[in-house]
Structure 1
């Protein structure tokens, strides 16, 4: 029996795992072309030839449309901005409700607040960690206007049922695909499964340009409204002849020419980068198969995961040790691992105290909202169980990782399991 590193033994892994870096000479050359041209941004916040941005921005948008087989792609300066613009384009306003996931990055839930709407949390599924048609259906009211569905960890939600439910109730589905570019559901690319899809180009995503995002849709109406919200809508609507002024207070969500040039080169790399993640995840899953103390992800037929991170369930009752102790022992063996992902969002002070804009409780408690929203602990029991008790998450399967690196992870997991079994 090998002595655990946490108890003074030799660790499985001494050197750090390789870092993920997708930038190369292609991106460097692209940036230099922009610098040589001397135009770092070509947006004007007026109805003019430059309302839609410069050549690199527009080239990226056309390439994104071709790659994802969508009619419209609108670049933005972040996925957060993209979510805000998507909610605005959907016509969400004060007194409305938007159904969201509790287990994701905070912006997926705060996007409705920007327009005075109330986020309503639906619980997640135990296998996909996404919200489902079943959990969404329980939260639909006459005030519901839209649903924001997150492809968490890189796995698409089960959109066929969700879209059917949404269409039956006249709801707009916004797909937060920040973690799942290149994933597929029923032969369709993630990000194209809802009425509006939002991608992230933040620095730690599968592909990136530092900061940035792209919003896609097949609706010309949504696309126009996304473009207006991105670029000072209120200053443009008159000359553009826009009649529907709902949510036409615009922002500056514009992407720069440098970011667009980098993102254009990154998009070319996406298929190979996702393929490597999928191969690594499959390899690691096989290597960990048979370890009864954990459960690795299993995918249904017709789905390809994007593997932003690798999540697996840990069962302390089987292991005879707490999740915290198990994770601590694994880290001592040289394997970085996180306990849970993010605390369920409704437990944040924003929701617990119902203070967002101003001091009067808007939009949770005001005369224009006739609903009653509860953010008490226990609201989403599956999300709470997964976060506080069950999930372990590692950034282990990105394209820079080798099978030898993954072998070290599997060896470390099995070593720690064996040691606690012996105890």
Structure 2
């Protein structure tokens, strides 16, 4: 027969608060930090010493919050542990299984950060006690909440990489990209899976798993030993024909190189990308399979998402055929027959001013007439940035005893300021992308 909850006044047990602020947590969970969340565990033990076991469980709770002195509590089935300005509400009950095991149900309820931290410490405290052999979680509202926030990031990364790989491989190999890049393992998976829109769309990339995408990025050499020996024999016959030798050598080298070295190393600049993606796979499984998550994994996901999504967005934009408006404007600006420096763009963004010098026209020196001619040639193109006026005179940085130079005198200190009346938000965003994506040097 199971123990019933006893309706008595609940004992309040003060404990230290170890919760610390975190900007990531505040950003994504700030609105729910004062809400209550529950976690519930089922623990199976051998029959016997029921009262001793409930005492042991309560001690484990106190150990989890590092309580030095264990106070007497009024109701072992229903009590509160105060943790500074918050609390954990605890309910414990057991019943017998059909084969006379004891089945304990333990529920903890409290604020988000309190329960998120406590659940890990509580489970750790049970690990050293052999009496609590089987432990299960049947309710974890903390993990539910974290997964809801984490899922869009996982989806964004996974489909972002699919987007990039599809654009990259189709540009490289056209309609034959899958036949060129697939492995036997990937082909088997695709044959076993039916997806929505299968038959209407080519769904190869959407029929393989998150972790399988690394096979396309880090694809190993496909040249078998027999082909390698054959190639060596062929090369031996080309030693006197340098052109044929180089051609065959490059062909064999490409076959032996994996996709990472051959294609992606020069484009994907995120350090240890493949290793990070494999690490992300573990988090992805926790989210996708509705299992349990903690804030440590979530913060790691946020960090990965920031660096990888930014890189993928840049790579995808490079390959887009239909460009976004920001990238279209950026391309027009970069096509102006002038060299912008990062300092030039920052000056435009911060002050709506640019100071043109000979270096903007790839010159070390210019005379006044040449400068006028070059500036006139780009006036219409500069309109993409905005309407501007210019300083009436050139800035020449002349000394007190120097005369104004002739129009044909070559000058390295000559400059002219352009004042833009207004720069649209679209253009500002395009210029910012240019800096972030290292399009402007």
TM-score (norm 2): 0.21
The structure that is helix-richer by fraction is 2
TM-score (norm 1): 0.21
